[in-house]
Amino acid sequence: MKILVLNAGSSSQKSCLYDVPEAGFPDTPQEPIWEATIDWGVGTEYGLLTVEANDTKQKSELSIYARAHGLGEMLDTLVQGETKVLEKLSEIAIVGHRVVHGGTEYSDATLITPAVKQAIEDLIPLAPNHNPAHLEEILAVEEVLGDVPQVAVFDTAFHSQMPKSVSAYPIPYRWFEKGVRRYGFHGISHRYCAERAAELLEEPLASLRVITCHLGHGCSLAAVRDGMSVNTTMGFTPLEGLMMGSRSGSIDPAIPMYLMREEGFDFEGVDKMLNKESGLKGVSGESGDMRSILKAMENGSDRAELAFEMYVSRLQSAIASMIPQLGGLDVLAFTAGVGENSADVRAATCAGLDFLGLKLDSRKNAASVKDSDIAAMNSTVRVLIIRAQEDWAIAGECWKLAKVG
């Protein structure tokens, strides 16, 4: 079964094609037979299309003025040239989309219908940087591939059953009834990470108390008990929670009001500062990339060192705050770019959690082997590095729905 997975961002498009058996979805993640990205942020008049397949990597430019046609040009590489992996596009059995915001209505992956498209459109005010791109992508697939089944896999779905005591904000209750609540994000990644952790430990997920740490440019935690997300750090928007690459994470809500009253900031100015100019980037003055922060620290940058210490401190505090709700901790799992690759972040974070009986194996931690346990033998908490596999998780949801249908 050929499954196409599309992951649209506000300024980028990532895609991959899997060829999975009809008889059963593999337990072990497979590599896609074709991958492509479109980066619309590299130039003012063009986007950059990069395609990898058949041990070949190709790059080409797409006109920014024909952005709506970018998907069609990208899919053409599936059936043409050195990256050809299909005889015809009709071989694609089903298409899966990562959709950032599904509100409270969707707790599972779902086949896309007119009602689902309308729901995605209705939620644009809550995800203005992402949901429009998802909707545009869904419509483009309809234009290029016709009536092929499409599936929406929502980033918010895994957190949709959090208890009200967690999802509600301590503001007048009428706003909760109007949808101002904690939704959580990175749900596809958190669910996959927790399930993969259980597989690696050969334990039922329902028996484990897990905290998953999705640490990339955006960062969030999820507390998983009985196989369900019972808490997470992101909230009404992805701005809440941990300190991130360029996002502030949680701050005193009076700060934006102060900046608007005393410094003349408007809404756009506050939004830009908190989402684009804060976090590691804002504190260090260097970059929002953890690799650059660590290099700047080696070169003696005090501000980079401060940024690193703040990042770790807030991460530790968030982990600790979730343990009472779980009733203890069996597994701490790290995933995504920083989580998978930064031994320094993992070591510094775990150093503050030794009161739990958590002990790292420094050699294993330094090796950063994906899908491995890096805890010491006598650690009472298992510490795992899990390779992020959002696309594979989406493919799995598509396979299930295709077989049911």
pLDDT digits (tens, 9 = 90+) for 340-394: 999 999 999 999 899 999 999 999 999 999 999 999 999 999 999 999 999 999 9
pLDDT digits (tens, 9 = 90+) for 6-30: 987 656 778 999 999 988 888 888 9
pLDDT digits (tens, 9 = 90+) for 104-148: 888 889 999 999 999 999 888 887 878 888 888 899 899 889 999
| Mean pLDDT in residue range 207-226 | 96
Average model confidence (pLDDT) across the chain = 92
Indicate where the chain has its CATH 3.30.420.40 domain(s). Answer: 2-154, 202-385
pLDDT digits (tens, 9 = 90+) for 90-103: 999 999 999 988 88
CA angle 226, 227, 230 (to 5 degrees): 75
Q: Among candidates 194, 184, 48, which has minimal Cα distance to 127?
A: 184
DSSP labels, 93-159: EEEEEEES--TTT-SS-EE--HHHHHHHHHTGGGSTTTHHHHHHHHHHHHHHHTT--EEEEETTGGG
Q: Are 19 and 393 in contact (CB under 8 A)?
A: no
Question: Given 155, 330, 373, 391, which residue is catalytic?
Answer: 155
CA angle 253, 255, 257 (to 5 degrees): 85
Q: What is the CATH number of domain 202-385?
A: 3.30.420.40
DSSP 8-state class, residue 238: T
55 among known catalytic residues: no
pLDDT at 133: 82
pLDDT digits (tens, 9 = 90+) for 56-101: 999 988 876 665 567 888 899 999 999 999 999 999 999 999 998 8
Q: Are 25 and 396 in contact (CB under 8 A)?
A: yes
pLDDT at 65: 62
Q: What is the CATH number of domain 2-154?
A: 3.30.420.40
How many whole angstroms separate alpha carbon 209 and alpha carbon 157? 20
